[in-house]
Amino acid sequence: MAKKIEGYLKLNIPAGAANPSPPVGPALGQRGVNIMEFCKAFNAATDSLEKNMPVPVVITVYQDKSFTFITKTAPVSYFLKKAAGMNKGGQEPGRTVAGSVTTAQVREIAVQKMGDMNAVDVDGAMAMVRGSARAMGLEVVEG
């Protein structure tokens, strides 16, 4: 018989840096999940990723206080900031250009994020990434 699901938690946790402090500890503690067990499992699963990359994770909590989790790829904004060599997006998107990314970089990001996006093909995913870049004040240049 299948386990009965109590709920889902969605968190953004830096890769390899899950610890019992907020936001992880309080979110899991409210559900009665073993926090250290989750931290060890998450850190082991994200060991191969770049240190401190934000990793969206969906945690399924069952009634017997056990859990499973699914990690996703980092947000598009993280990849765009990295490609443009910036620490944060533009202060006035649409008015001033904070930086630029090439079409090749946009394609690379779209291919990486394809599994988490609801795009039919890479061109559709590229359009989504271009929109995110525009919203961050980045210019997409040919190249």
Domains plus CATH for the chain?
5-71 (3.30.1550.10), 76-141 (1.10.10.250)
pLDDT of residue 49: 82
pLDDT above 90 coverage of the chain, percent: 6
Mean pLDDT, all residues of the chain:
85
Full-model pTM: 0.78
* 43-99 tens-digit pLDDT: 888 888 888 888 899 999 988 888 899 988 888 888 888 888 887 777 777 777 777
* 88-141 tens-digit pLDDT: 777 777 777 777 888 888 898 888 888 888 888 888 888 888 888 888 888 888
Q: Which residues contact 48 (CB under 8 A, 6 or more apart)?
A: none
